[in-house]
Structure 1
Amino acid sequence: MTLRDAGREVSSHRVGVTVADLDRLAPGAADPRALVEASFAFLLEREPPGSILRAFDLPEIGRYFPEYEAEIRAAYHRRGV
């Protein structure tokens, strides 16, 4: 995932997503890209791009933000995905 501001790369991240993560956090979703994008939107509401780990597995977000999984699942439920 590459974060950009006005077309300029701000930071680049490698995110691990398992099939189990996708099933748990975005039931019915076939492609993890939307989940990763929603997860970065969640993170960017809480911290600047430079504070986000450069490489991590998606469930690690919940270690720092316990509300993450519930909020992401709720967001997917609201979208009807």
Structure 2
Amino acid sequence: MITQTMVQPSFWIEVGIQIQKVRGLNLFKFNDDLQLRLEILIERKKNNILTLEESAELAGITELDRIFTLMNARIIAES
């Protein structure tokens, strides 16, 4: 296991998350600002210009994305 510093995913719960109705199901989604931030961080990582703080931020957002993917999959499977 590799230890990695990250911003806690719960940091974005109040400011970066929305619930969107898709085919009658309420699914978790990043708002436009958080989605844009994720894309910027990914681009900075590809260009090898990501700072340590940004790396921690990217790790937290990526973990939150994984959590939402699993939660949304469960919501869809149980519908």
- Normalising by structure 1, report the TM-score: 0.27
Relative contact order, CA 8 A, sep 6+: which one is greater? 2
User: Normalized per residue, which structure has more helix?
Assistant: 2
Greater gyration radius: 2
